[in-house]
Structure 1
């Protein structure tokens, strides 16, 4: 199981944070994180339910992370292992995550797929999202996996949709001309774009689009598939 402590900073003030795997005793706190992290117009149907959280720790407890500050759970991240074919990257969130239950977790999979990551708004200045993402990278390196992968919401797109196509919006975000709350965060975490996916997730602000993004394990050499073979 995974556990670490480190200092994070709010301006010049140090704050002790703890990242660990979550368990059944944490479920109510995790549901509260979901409610605060994803307020309307994000669909409340996508907030974690107890039966989904039970499934997470049954199928892949190593991919169930939470972060505590002053003994309060203020953020979480869930992942599973999948097989990923870079030649056919497009999929939906439901397909990749078993509709949030991760019952399609493949113990032999070489890709760590991020199901979700959320931080309570009052704690977002502490860079706890980066801390959780770093924990995913550490899991990938420790287990000699190929990559971290996941679809990023693009909630800033709604403000620009009357002027820009989804691709034009993402191009501007990647170029640093626009800032998106999620995509820019993932870029700061070292994630790289793979492809834009329509109908990735029911998400009004993103117009149901998601940007698939990855972080490749720099210590793990993988053979590139030859499409002609």
Structure 2
């Protein structure tokens, strides 16, 4: 099981933090944080429910991480193992994560696949999302997997849909010409775009596109 103590900081003050596996007693707070992180027009049915969280902690507890700041739950990240074929990368979030219930988890999979990451808005200047991502990289290395994968939202794309393809939008973010709140964050975490996927997720801001992004195990 995973347990890490560290300090996180804004511009002036460090705060003690802990990254650990989340447990049943955390479920109510995890659901509350989801609602804060993904307000409408994000679909309410995609917020976590208790059955999904129970599956995360029973089917693959290693991939169920949360972060506390000064003892208060501030965010979480969830993943499962999949046997991913990079020659056939197209899929949907619903298919690969079993709508977040992760019954598709494959204990013999070659890749750690991100189901979700969220940080409470009150804590977003402390770099918690990046610390959660780095902790998932620890798991990739520990389990000797090939990579971490996940489909990124591209929530800024709806502003540019009439002017450019989703592929050009992603490349513009990579080139630094456009800032996208999710893709730009993942680039800062070391993730690399692989392919744009249509109809990846019911997400009006992303025009229902996602971009598959990976981090490869440097020891493989």
TM bucket, shorter chain: over 0.9
Structure 2 counterpart of 1:88? 88
Structure 2 counterpart of 1:134? 134
Higher mean C-alpha displacement, 68-77 vs 206-215: 68-77
Structure 2 counterpart of 1:148? 148
Cα shift at 1:121: 1.0
Report the TM-score, using the length of structure 2 for normalisation: 0.98
Structure 1 counterpart of 2:50? 50
Counterparts of 1:168 and 1:219, CA distance in 2: 32
SS in 1 for 2:125: helix
SS in 1 for 2:156: helix
SS in 2 for 1:195: strand
Structure 1 counterpart of 2:159? 159
Cα-to-partner distance string for 1:39-73 (whole Å, 9 max, x where unaligned): 11111110000011011111100000000012111
Counterparts of 2:73 and 2:46, CA distance in 1: 20
Counterparts of 1:167 and 1:62, CA distance in 2: 33
Written as runs of structure 1 = structure 2, the 5 A alignment for 1:56-205 is 56-205=56-205
Counterparts of 1:181 and 1:72, CA distance in 2: 25
Counterparts of 1:50 and 1:194, CA distance in 2: 32
Structure 1 counterpart of 2:7? 7
Counterparts of 1:53 and 1:150, CA distance in 2: 19
Cα shift at 1:111: 0.2
Counterparts of 1:46 and 1:30, CA distance in 2: 13
Cα shift at 1:33: 1.0
CA RMSD of aligned residues (A): 0.7
Gaps of 5+ in 1: 221-229
Cα shift at 1:208: 0.5
Q: How many residues align?
A: 220
Report the TM-score, using the length of structure 1 for normalisation: 0.95
